[in-house]
Amino acid sequence: MFNIGDLLFYGTNGVCRVSEICSSPFDSSDPRSFYKLAPIAENTSLVIYTPVDNTQVIMRSLISKEEAEALLARIPEIEKVAVAVEKHRKEAYRETIREGDPEGFVKIIKTVRARRELFRRTRRRVPDLDNDFEHTAKTCLYSELSTVLGICREEIHRIVTEGVSEK
């Protein structure tokens, strides 16, 4: 269980701060306790209410600084998302995002980058599916890494991009 003021990773919203633990704001007869979460992303006034015992959306502690540094160092070695049949790509991406694992976010970023190069060489447009999932993966990954390492998102973007570019 998290406490008021704690930072946690929540679904595709990335890093959020627990601003309150309260009863349901939607149903006064609901006996469950809820977290009131505030995403720490810039330019958002979003407020999220989620049950404390929510198992539908990934809700976990942030990775440690050591784990974040190790992840950044391993980026060149991380494999891309394997998709045997193209029509299963969306589900493969969705499952990777649903797991909420920072390494999975890197996998999506690397996969989309490789596909972008392939599409560029063949003069085709990158599917919106790839762009959308890449955006989500970057939002989640950069949010957590910048928070844990105390580095701005632009610097995280630079570090990740360099790591993805290495062969």
Q: Which CATH number covers residue 70? A: 1.20.58.1290
Residues 32-90 have pLDDT tens digits of 999 999 998 766 788 999 999 999 999 999 999 999 999 999 999 999 998 989 899 99
Q: Which stretches of the chain are assigned E, i.e. beta strand?
A: 7-10, 14-23, 33-39, 48-51, 59-60
pTM over the 0.85 mark: yes
Euclidean distance between CA atoms 165 and 44, whole angstroms: 31
The predicted structure's pLDDT at residue 43: 67
Q: Do 40 and 16 lie in a common domain?
A: yes
Q: Do 75 and 119 lie in a common domain?
A: yes
Sheet of strand 33-39, all strands in order from the earlier edge strand to the far edge: 48-51, 33-39, 14-23, 7-10, 59-60
Q: What is the mean pLDDT of residues 3-7?
A: 96
Euclidean distance between CA atoms 80 and 58, whole angstroms: 22
Q: Is residue 2 one of the residues assigned to a domain?
A: no
DSSP tag of 85: S
Nearest in space to 114 (alpha carbons), one of 94, 91, 89:
89
Compute and round to an integer the Cα radius of gyration of the chain. 17
- Which residue range forms the structural domain that includes residue 38? 7-60
The predicted structure's pLDDT at residue 59: 95
Q: Is residue 1 one of the residues assigned to a domain?
A: no
Residues 139-162 have pLDDT tens digits of 999 999 999 999 999 999 999 998
The predicted structure's pLDDT at residue 100: 94
Q: Do 105 and 128 lie in a common domain?
A: yes
Number of domains in the chain: 2
How far CA 111 is from CA of 19, 130, 157, in Å, comes to 36, 9, 16
Q: Do 82 and 136 lie in a common domain?
A: yes
Q: Do 87 and 54 lie in a common domain?
A: no
Residue 166 has pLDDT above 90, yes or no: no
Euclidean distance between CA atoms 86 and 15, whole angstroms: 31
